[in-house]
Amino acid sequence: MVKKYEITNRIRELRFFAEEMTQQELARRAGVSRQTIIAVEAGKYAPSLEMAFRIADVFGVAITEVFACKVSEIEGKKG
Amino acid sequence: MSYQEKRTIVNILSGVPVLIAYGIYVFIRTRSGSVEPNDLRFWGITMLTFIGIGVASGIILQILFHIGLSISIAIKTGDGKEREVERDIEATIVEDEMDKLIELKSLKLGFSITGTGFVIALIYLAFSGSAAGMLNIMFFSFGIGSISEGFLSLRYYRKGLKNG
């Protein structure tokens, strides 16, 4: 059995609670492109720690409030 | 469609016509018999000319694209808000870690294709192929590698980079 780590996020929810902050506004404040925010929000891109901290900083919450790691076990050989 | 995708499409659009034009030009010249297969001076000049055309057309298209983009942002933002327009343009053309990672991964494919082309060119030479043939294989492998880079970038922007 191999552990599979999947990064999940609550960006959409946090944007909603931040007075429906737009992806463009979040991107601007985090210093990244809107395309990246779209990809991160959709779970298509796992950001670096620095970017994750920047996004969390925009919402004024801890990084764990924004990102979480879902661990699941899948069959297969290690490596 | 995002700025990055549009920019990549512009890059592809500047590369593909040049490669096709080169192929047609070379085909016509060799078919007409006006070129000696081993006239390396001709091939050197032709390839340099088309590389120059490719670079120049790429720069011109990028400039036109960025002018068009700035105008469209200015129209969207509205008149009399210069600072907001500048802010929106800056926010649109920002390059971050995902862009760099996509560029890196796409470059890897480009290098692989170019490297494979180089090996094929050497094999061609080893089997008594002409020097002009070898140069053409290398030229096309550079061109195809560069275009493939663009297509892979587009794919990554659409599908995402799952593993970061």
Residue A22: which CATH number? Answer: 1.10.260.40
Minimal C-alpha gap between B155 and chain A (Å): 12
DSSP letter, residue B161: B
User: Cβ(B53)–Cβ(B19) under 8 Å?
Assistant: no
The one-letter amino acid at A37:
I
How far is the C-alpha of A4 from the C-alpha of A27, rounded, in Å? Answer: 29
Write out residues in chain B with pLDDT < 70, as ranges: 78-80, 163-164
Q: Which residue of B has its CA nearest to A43?
A: B162
A60-A22-B72 Cα angle (round to 5): 135
Q: Is residue A9 part of a domain?
A: yes
Query: What are A9's strand-pairing partners?
Result: A67
Contacts of A31 in chain B (CB under 8 A): 94, 96
> What is the structure's pLDDT at A78?
53
Locate the chain A residue with the closest alpha carbon to B98: A36
Domain ranges of chain B: 3-159
- pLDDT of the residue at A79: 47
Residues of A in contact with B162 (CB under 8 A): 44-46
The number of residues making up chain B comes to 164
Average pLDDT over residues A9-16: 91
Residue labelled with tokens 């002009």: B132
**Which pLDDT value is given to residue A77?**
60
Domain span holding position A14: 2-74
Number of helical H runs and strand E runs in chain B: 5, 0
**Which residue of chain A comes nearest to B161, CA vs CA?**
A45
CA distance A37 to B95: 12
Q: Do B3 and A35 touch (CB under 8 A)?
A: yes
pLDDT in tens, B6-41: 888 988 888 899 999 999 998 888 888 888 777 888
Neighbouring residues of B77: CB distance < 8 A, sequence distance ≥ 6: B84, B85, B88
Task: Please report the pLDDT score of residue B71 as a whole number.
Answer: 84
Average of per-residue pLDDT values in chain A: 87
Report pTM.
0.79
Question: pLDDT at position B30, please?
Answer: 84
Q: Count of domains in chain A?
A: 1
Q: Give this complex's ipTM.
A: 0.74
- Mean pLDDT (chain B) is 87
Q: Is residue A79 part of a domain?
A: no
